[in-house]
Amino acid sequence: KHNKERQIYHPAKAIKVKTVFERIAIYLIWGLPETPEGFKGILLITEPLTRKAWAYCILTLNNVNDTLEKYQKRQKSIILRNFTNQFKN
């Protein structure tokens, strides 16, 4: 009656994150107006536990994989540098 659709209950489920960089979110924003340097998109990476975000300008969609590899190498060095210094005597 009155074109009402049946309501279905879908409770939200929280994903437990125990350590920093255990889980990240990646967003690709593509199709922006081209800049004078030729960039057409933004790759946004966020870490939910610290709420830190990194943004990278993207020239082509083929550059996304290279950018993610650079991010991964950078994060490994930051983790090693930040978390191993506390164990030095």
> pLDDT, tens digit, for every residue of 28-84?
888 899 999 999 999 888 887 888 888 888 888 888 888 888 877 776 655 444 444
Asked if residue 83 is part of any domain, the answer here is: yes
Asked if residue 1 is part of any domain, the answer here is: no
From the list 12, 34, 38, 20, the residue with the least C-alpha distance to 80 is 20
Q: Into how many domains does the chain fold?
A: 1
Instruction: Specify the pLDDT at position 4.
Output: 73
| Tokens found for residue 25 | 């979110």
CA distance 29 to 57: 10
Asked if residue 11 is part of any domain, the answer here is: no
The answer to whether 27 touches 18, Cβ cutoff 8 Å, is: no
pLDDT at residue 88 is higher than 50: no
Question: The pTM is what?
Answer: 0.61
Asked if residue 57 is part of any domain, the answer here is: yes
Q: What is the 3-state secondary structure (H, E, C) of 13-72?
A: CCCCCCCCCCCCEEEEEECCCCCCCCCCEEEEEEECCCCEEEEEEECCCCHHHHHHHHHH
